[in-house]
A and B are shown apart, each in its own frame.
Chain A
Amino acid sequence: MYSTMNSTANRVWVILIIATATTYWVGESGMTNNNGTRAVWAMFGLAFVKGFLIIYDYMELRHAPTKWKLGIISWLVFVISLILFAYWLGQRHN
């Protein structure tokens, strides 16, 4: 069982590193400059995937009671949604 859990943890680590490299590339390439809305949405989409994997597989909430699992995932959805809403407001007013 634990060798399976370890291999899941290893796979998650690879995904997290690739997602981080992608975010770094998005930032370095300047894709988020000049109202790069799609790049910002994609970047926070990646942040959601990373956060979800950490919550499920590293914090081990995959097998936790539903209220805890949904509660922490809801935090992530709530925070990222409002950040994107604030980003949209910023683009509208500036």
Chain B
Amino acid sequence: MIVQNLDRPTKDQPRLPGDLIIWVFIVGELTTFAVLFLVYAFARARNVALFNESQLTLDLTSGAINTVLLITGSWLVVKAVHAVKDDQARKGAYWLMSGMACGFAFLGVKWLEYGDKSAAGLDISTNTFYTFYFSLTFFHFMHVIVGLVFLGVVLPKTWRREYGKNNHNTLESSAAYWHMVDLLWIVLFPLIYVMR
């Protein structure tokens, strides 16, 4: 007797994790951020000296810590999804909470960074670089919050073991969005904090 595991993707049976609608949403978000990244990059090309000088005031360490937090948050959510697929939903809920803790820590570090800039008299109207810095990073900041909301929605159901080996589409959709937030930061960090 041949037993087929329907959940396991095979070479002949590719599978898009989560719901199709979340991927349409993700493509929209990636397109929006692509436009913003490129507008920043080409604006910088027209005024390299101003952008380089202003960039020196950014805290590279905060940016790197936030990168580590998002990467680790993504990794923990991957472990949550794997645990649920292995019918260990309660374990998955703990991983999910750990991933969310990384997201909240990211928001905390970013908030402190904004506080430092504000104390130094820097804001969105200081110059073109800061207009981009505050707009891009705050737009991303809002996406981290949306990602946390998505994870927060699936957390109680994961805790109550409503997701499992044969029912984890919504969890995968939330996880995909969360990883997208990480992917965006992977481009944003070198672009705004490091490229000179």
What residues of chain A have their CB less than 8 Å away from a CB belonging to chain B? 1-2, 5-6, 9-10, 12-13, 16-17, 20-21, 23-24, 26-28, 32-33, 36, 40, 43-44, 46-47, 50-51, 54-55, 57-61, 63-66, 68, 71-72, 75-76, 78-80, 82-83, 86-87, 89-91, 93-94
Query: Within the complex, which residue of A23, A28, A83, A91 is in contact with B41, where a contact is CB–CB below 8 Å?
Result: A83
Q: A54-B183, A78-B34, A89-B42 are in contact. List 14 more A-B contacts (CB 8 A).
A: A5-B82, A44-B190, A50-B186, A54-B186, A58-B75, A59-B176, A60-B81, A60-B172, A60-B176, A63-B14, A75-B31, A82-B41, A86-B41, A86-B45
Query: What residue in chain B is nearest A72 (Cβ atoms)?
Result: B30
The secondary-structure label for the interface of chain B is helix
Q: What are 14 sample pairs from A and B whose C-beta atoms fall under 8 A apart?
A: A9-B78, A20-B67, A23-B190, A27-B194, A46-B190, A51-B186, A58-B74, A61-B17, A63-B9, A64-B15, A65-B16, A79-B187, A86-B45, A94-B48
> Closest 10 A-B residue pairs measured CB to CB?
A63-B9, A90-B45, A86-B41, A27-B194, A24-B64, A13-B75, A94-B48, A32-B196, A89-B45, A2-B86
